[in-house]
Amino acid sequence: MSIDYKIYLVNESASGKNLWCFLSEPEGLNKKSVYANSSTGIFVEPNYLGLNYFVIPYKYALQAGASNNAVQANTKIESSIESTISIDVELGKVYDTQYATAPPKKGPNLTVNQSGSSPTGTLQIQTNSFNKVENEEQKWFENATFGIEMSNGFIGSTWAPAPNEATTITPQFKFYITTGSFEPGTLTDFSIISKNAAEVNLSDFKSLEVTVTLTSEGTFLVTPGQPAQSLTSINKLGIIERYSKLVNTHNQLVERHAETIYLHHQALSKLFSARML
């Protein structure tokens, strides 16, 4: 079972904002054109009294795909012709991707290499000897994506793999929270999403929680733990609960006092009646 982290979102600006979550690209892909890939965003009202947050499992996934869309900025990998396979992955292992050579246009296979291993904290992706040139002539483009599958979307990195290649990557559990009019699943340059974004590192979390605040000045503030408004609400609930218990105790005492007075009056009445006789 994976560990879930929470990124709370607070908007102190004058208007509602779309806030997006992106996962930092892994190390080891610096010789490739790597693009940010996210379908995880939420519209946050200013000074919202409730809670907005992303739940991020500490669990990675690897995808291998092919489509008639090339891997480039402002492009959706999903297209009219597309095939993708996705599996959960573990660090320290090797994964084999088998891309087809067109024609025909076929989807890839993705499996764990039972005999291979990768250094601690990394994973290795091996590709077969497919014909990339011929595939591109057929308008058939390979893609590989690494990231985190969330309950409400995906965050990760996408690149175009080369044939007969072993790529070792080191995941970075680091996130960018930013505003913007991004499209879910549309590839974006990391230089764009990281500019003026809130950078959330693993060390920023407290008890698996962190708060990102968009201030009234338009800058981001990262603070460990839950938002102050949440803690205030919890404190208010605690005060209300204690007051409710106090009122209940008071009512019980009043009832007991009323019963005592009633019994006392009854006793006096009986005593008075006895003297009259």
Residues 181 and 276 grouped into a single domain: no
Instruction: Answer whether the bond into residue 108 is a cis peptide, omega within 30°.
Output: no
119-140 residue pLDDT tens: 999 999 999 999 999 999 999 9
Distance from C-alpha of 277 to C-alpha of 265, rounded to nearest angstrom: 19
Dihedral sign from CA coordinates of 132, 133, 135, 141: positive
- Shared domain check, 169 and 83: yes
My answer on whether 131 and 112 are in the same domain is yes
Q: Where are the alpha helices (DSSP H) in the chain?
A: 132-137, 190-194, 228-276
Asked whether the beta carbons of 77 and 187 are under 8 A apart, the reply is yes
Q: Is the per-residue pLDDT at 35 higher than 80?
A: yes
d(CA 180, CA 222) in angstroms, rounded, equals 18
Report d(CA 257, CA 115) in Å as an integer. 80
Does 235 have pLDDT greater than 90? no
Q: Are 109 and 234 in the same domain?
A: no
Q: Distance between CA 267 and CA 272 in Å, rounded?
A: 9
pLDDT digits (tens, 9 = 90+) for 248-273: 775 776 577 666 665 666 665 666 66
Structural domain of 157? 4-226
| Same domain, yes or no: 10 and 113 | yes
Give residue-wise pLDDT tens across range 193-224: 999 999 999 999 999 999 999 999 999 999 99
* DSSP code for 79: -
Check whether residue 134 and residue 29 sit in a common domain: yes
The rounded distance, in Å, linking the Cα atoms of 1 and 24 is 23
Confidence tier at 226 by pLDDT (50, 70, 90)? very high
Residues 105 and 180 reside in one and the same domain: yes
Query: 221 and 246, same structural domain?
Result: no
Number of structural domains in the chain: 2
Residues 193 and 233 placed together within one structural domain of the fold: no
User: 114 and 75, same structural domain?
Assistant: yes
Does one domain contain both 218 and 232?
A: no
Task: Note whether 125 and 235 are same-domain residues.
Answer: no
More confident residue, 277 or 148: 148
Residue 234, pLDDT above cutoff 70: no
